[in-house]
Structure 1
Amino acid sequence: MDKLEAFLGNRLLPLTHKLQQNKVLAALMEGFIRTSPLTLGIAVLTIIGNFPIPGWTDYLTSIGIYQHVEAITNGVTGVFSIYVVYSLAFSYAKQLETNERNAALISLASFIMLMPQQIMTTVTQNGEATEQAIGALRLDYLGGQGLFIGMLVALLVTRFYAFLSKKNLMIKLPESVPPMVTQSLAPVFVVTIIFIIVFCIRIGFGYTASGSIFQFFIDVINAPLNSLVASPISIIIIMELLAVLWFFGIHNAVLQGPLGAISMTMIVGNMAAFQSGEDLPYLLPSVIYMGMYAAGFMGFVTFFMIRSKSAKMKQLGKLSFVPSIFNITEPLMFGMPIILNPIFFIPQVFTQLIAGFVTWGLTSTILPISLNPAMSLLPWTTPTFVKMPFAGGLNYTIIMLICFAIGIVMWYPFIKIADKKEYELECALASAESGNNVKEEIQA
C-alpha cells in the first residue's frame, strides 16, 4: 500500500497541481466548498425526517410535521442549484478579477430566466377539476436536475461579464458618486447584452420538443437509457453512469427517469413473485444494484478522513460521518470536494464498476442469494449494513463486506494523497502566518 501511495503521489499530485491552477477548476472547487455549510447543516433534519423506521414518515405526516420537514429540507436541497450558481459565479469572478457580486447576481438572474416559469396543475372551477397553467418554478430544476445547467450558466455568464467589462462598455460616473452606486450602475450596458443573449437562448430551446434547455439536457442523457430493461448489464451501465456524472457535478436526479422505471419494475416484479412463492424474475439485477450501492458507501471514507493529519479533512470527516451512515453524501461531494477533483476521479468512477462485476460473478457462482424484496421498500436513509443482511442473509452479508472492501481499497490511497496535499498546504499557510507575525513584532 505504501508503494502504491508513493507511486500515485509522485504521478498524480503534480498533474493535480497543474489542473488545479486552472481558473475554472479552482473556481469550481471553491464554489462547491462554500456550499458545504448548507449540506452539513441540513443533514440532521434530513435524517430525522426520513429516519429508517417503517411508518415513520407516515407518522410525521399524520401529526402534521412532515410537511414542515419537507419545507426545511427543500429550502436547501430543493433549491440547491441557486446556491451553487451564486457561489460558483462569485468564486470564478474572483479568479478573473472582476466584480464578484455583480457576476454572481447576473448569473443567478440568467439561470432563472432560462427556466420554465409555468407548470400545469389541477384546479376546481364550478365543482369541476380542470387543468390550468399557473406561474411557478419547478423545484426539480432549482434542485438536482438543474445543477449542471446552473454550473454552465455561472461559468459562461461570469466569463462573458468579465470579457465585456474590459471593452469600455461600462458607464463612467464622476468620482464624487459613492462606490456602491457606481458599481451598481456602471455595468448596465453589459448586463443588457448578457440578458439579450439569454433571451435568444431561451427562445431557441423553446422551439425544441423539450421546450427548455433544462428538459433538453435531461432528454439527451435519458434518451439512450430509456429503452433499457432490468438486467444485470443495464444496472451496471446506469449505476456507473451515475458515478461518472456525479464526478462532473451532474446530480443523480437527472437520471431518475430511467433508473426509477427500472427499479420500480424490479421491485414490483420481485414482490409479486415473492408473494406467490415463485422465483424472483429480477433477482440478479437487484443484487448487483445493492452490491454497487454498498461499494459506494461513504462511511469508511469519512472514517479515513477522521484519522487524517489535515485539520480540514479531519473536521469535515467528523461532520460528514453521521450523514454518510444514512446515505447522505452531499457534504462530502461538495465539501471535499469530490466533484471535479482530479485526485478522486479513479475511486469515484471505477469503484462501483468493479463491485458490480464482482457481485455478478459471486452471485452467479459460489454465493447464491435468497432475497426478500420487501426490504427494498425501506426508506432510502436505511444504512446499507442494515438493509443488506436483513434482505439476503449470510451470503448477501458476505457480498456486502466484499463490496465494502473494494470501496476501502479503492478510496484509501487517494484519501491519503489528498490528506498529504492538504496537510502540506496547511503547514505552509501556518508558516507564512507565523513569519508575518514575527515581521510585525520586529517592526513594532
Structure 2
Amino acid sequence: MNKLEQIINEKLMPLAEKLTKNNILGALMEGFIRTSPITLGIAFITIIGNFPVPGWTDYLTKIGLMEHVNAITNGATGVLTLYVIYSLAMAYAKRLQTNERNAAIVSLAFFIMIIPQTITTTVMENGQAVESVVNALKLDYLGGQGLFIGMIVALVVTKLYAYLSSKNLSFQLPDSVPPMVSQSLSPVFVVTIIFVLAFAIRVGFSYTPAGDIINFFVQVINAPLNSMVASPISIIIIMGLLAILWFFGIHNAVLQGPLGVISLTMVMGNITAFQNNQELPYLLPSVIYGGMMASGFMGIVIGSMFKAKSAKFKQLAKLSFIPSLFNITEPIMFGMPIIMNPMFMIPQCFTQIICGFVTWGLAATVLPITLNPFMSLLPWTTPIFIKMPLAGGLNYAIIMVVCFVITFLMWYPFLKVADRHEYELEKANEEAHVISE
C-alpha cells in the first residue's frame, strides 16, 4: 500500500496538479464545487421524501405532501444543469479575465435556446384523447440528461464571449454612463453573434432524426447499447460505462433507456419465475448488478475520510456520509469533486468493473445465490447493506462485503494522497494568512 501511495504521489499527483491548472479543468472543478451546497442542502428532504419504508411514499401522497417534496427536489436537482452552467461559466470567465456575470447569463440563455421548448401531451376533447403541444421546458433536459451538453455550452460560449470581446466588438459607451449599465449594454454585438450561433445549432439539429441536440447526444450514446440483452457481460459493460461517464460529468440519466429496458426485463422475468417456483432466468445478471451497486456505495469511501488530516475532507465527510447511506452520491461527486478530477479517475472508472467480474466469479462458483427478486422493488434509497442481505441471504452479504473491501482498497491510496495534498495547501494558506497580518 505504501509503495502504491508513493507511485501516486510521485507520478500521478504531479500530472493531476498540472491538469487542474488547466483553465478548463480548473473551471470544471470549481464550478462543480460551487454547486455542492444545492446537492447537500437537498439531501435531507430527498431522504425523508423517499425513506425506505413500505408504504411511506404512498402515505405522503395521500396526505398531499409528496407533490411538495417533489417540487423541492425538482427545484434543486431537477434543474441542476442550469446551476452548473451558471457556476461553470462564472469560474471559466474568471480564468479568462472576461466579464463573469455576462458570460454566465449568456451561457444560460444559449442553453435554453437550443433545447426543446414544447412538450406534446394528451388532453380530452369532446370525450376523445387528442395530442396537444404546450410551451414548456422538460425537466429531463434541465437535469441529468442535459448536464453534459450544459457543461459544453458553458465552456464554449464563455470562451467565444471572451474571444469576441477581445476583438473590439463591444459597443463603447461614454464614461458618464454608470458601470453597471455600460457592462450590460456594451457586449450587445458579441451576444448577437453568439445567439445567431444558437439559432444555427437549433435549426441544424431540427433536421436530424433526433430533432434536437440533447436527444441526438442521448441517442448516440444509447445506440450501441440498445440491442443488448440482460446478461452478465452486458450488465458489467453498462454499469462500468455509467461509472466512467459519470466521471466525465455525464449523468446516469443519459443511459436510462438501455439500462431501464434491461433492468425491467430482469426484474419482471425473475419475479414471474419466482412466483411460479421456477428457476430465475436472470439470476446471475441480477446478482452482478447488485455487486456492482455495492461497489458504488460511497459510504465506504466517505467513512474513511473521517480520519483525514485536511479540514476539507473531514467537513465533507460529515456533510456527505448520511446521504451516502441512502445512495445519494451527488454531494461527494460535486463536493470533492470527483467529476473531472484526474486524481480520482482510476478508482471512479474501474472499481465497479472489477467488482462486477469478482461478483460473477464468486456467484458462479463458491458463493451461489438464492435470490428473492421482490427485494428489487424496494425504494432506491434503501441502503445497499440492508437490501443485499434481504435479497440473497448470507452468500450475497459475503459478496457485498468483498465488494466493500475492494472499493476501500481501490479508493484509499488515492484519498490518502489527495488528503495530504489538501492538508499541505491548508497549512500553506494559514501561514500566508499569519504573515499577511
TM-score bin, normalised by smaller chain = over 0.9
What is the letter of the counterpart of residue 405 of structure 2?
A: A
Deviation at 1:344, TM superposition (A): 0.2
Q: Distance in 1 between matches of 2:20 and 2:392?
A: 44
Deviation at 1:332, TM superposition (A): 0.6
* 2:153 corresponds to: 153
What is the letter of the counterpart of residue 131 of structure 2?
A: E
* 1:259 corresponds to: 259
- 2:319 is the alignment partner of 1:352: no
- 2:157 is the alignment partner of 1:173: no
Deviation at 1:249, TM superposition (A): 0.2
- 2:100 is the alignment partner of 1:104: no
* 1:320 corresponds to: 320
Deviation at 1:6, TM superposition (A): 1.6
Deviation at 1:10, TM superposition (A): 1.1
* 1:441 corresponds to: none
Q: Distance in 1 between matches of 2:428 and 2:273?
A: 62
CA displacement, residues 195-253 of structure 1 (integer Å, 9 cap, x when unaligned): 00110011000100000000000000000000000000000000000000000000000
* 1:5 corresponds to: 5
Q: Distance in 2 between matches of 1:104 and 1:48?
A: 33
- Look up the SS of the partner of 2:122 in the other structure: strand
* 2:429 corresponds to: 429
What is the letter of the counterpart of residue 175 of structure 1?
A: D
* 1:397 corresponds to: 397
What is the letter of the counterpart of residue 224 of structure 1?
A: P
* 2:340 corresponds to: 340
Deviation at 1:411, TM superposition (A): 0.5
What is the letter of the counterpart of residue 325 of structure 1?
A: L
- Look up the SS of the partner of 1:119 in the other structure: strand
- 2:368 is the alignment partner of 1:368: yes
* 1:309 corresponds to: 309
Structure 2-normalised TM-score? 0.99
Q: Distance in 2 between matches of 1:88 and 1:244?
A: 21
* 1:212 corresponds to: 212
Deviation at 1:126, TM superposition (A): 2.6
CA displacement, residues 295-316 of structure 1 (integer Å, 9 cap, x when unaligned): 1100011111121111111101
Q: Distance in 1 between matches of 2:301 and 2:429?
A: 26
Is the deviation greater in 102-111 or in 51-60?
51-60
Deviation at 1:55, TM superposition (A): 1.2
Q: Distance in 2 between matches of 1:374 and 1:195?
A: 51
Q: Distance in 1 between matches of 2:246 and 2:370?
A: 32
* 2:380 corresponds to: 380
Structure 1 residue runs without a partner (length 5+): 438-444
Deviation at 1:124, TM superposition (A): 2.0
* 1:442 corresponds to: none
- Look up the SS of the partner of 1:145 in the other structure: coil
Identity %: 69
Q: Which runs of 4+ in 1 moved over 6 A?
A: none
- Look up the SS of the partner of 1:78 in the other structure: coil
- Alignment of structure 1 residues 288-303 onto 2, 5 Å: 288-303=288-303
* 1:124 corresponds to: 124
Q: Distance in 1 between matches of 2:222 and 2:185?
A: 43
CA displacement, residues 238-276 of structure 1 (integer Å, 9 cap, x when unaligned): 000000000000000000000000000000000000000
- Look up the SS of the partner of 1:129 in the other structure: strand
- Alignment of structure 1 residues 5-44 onto 2, 5 Å: 5-44=5-44
Is the deviation greater in 165-174 or in 120-129?
120-129
CA displacement, residues 303-357 of structure 1 (integer Å, 9 cap, x when unaligned): 1112111111110111000000000000011110000000000000110010000
Deviation at 1:129, TM superposition (A): 2.2
* 1:195 corresponds to: 195
Structure 2 residue runs without a partner (length 5+): none
- Look up the SS of the partner of 2:278 in the other structure: coil
Structure 1-normalised TM-score? 0.98
* 2:285 corresponds to: 285
Q: Distance in 2 between matches of 1:8 and 1:241?
A: 24
Deviation at 1:123, TM superposition (A): 1.5
Aligned length in residues? 437
Deviation at 1:4, TM superposition (A): 1.6
Please tell me the root mean square deviation across aligned C-alpha atoms, in Å.
0.6
- Look up the SS of the partner of 1:144 in the other structure: coil
Q: Distance in 1 between matches of 2:308 and 2:320?
A: 14
- Look up the SS of the partner of 1:67 in the other structure: helix
CA displacement, residues 91-125 of structure 1 (integer Å, 9 cap, x when unaligned): 00001000000000000000000010111111122
Q: Distance in 2 between matches of 1:53 and 1:6?
A: 46
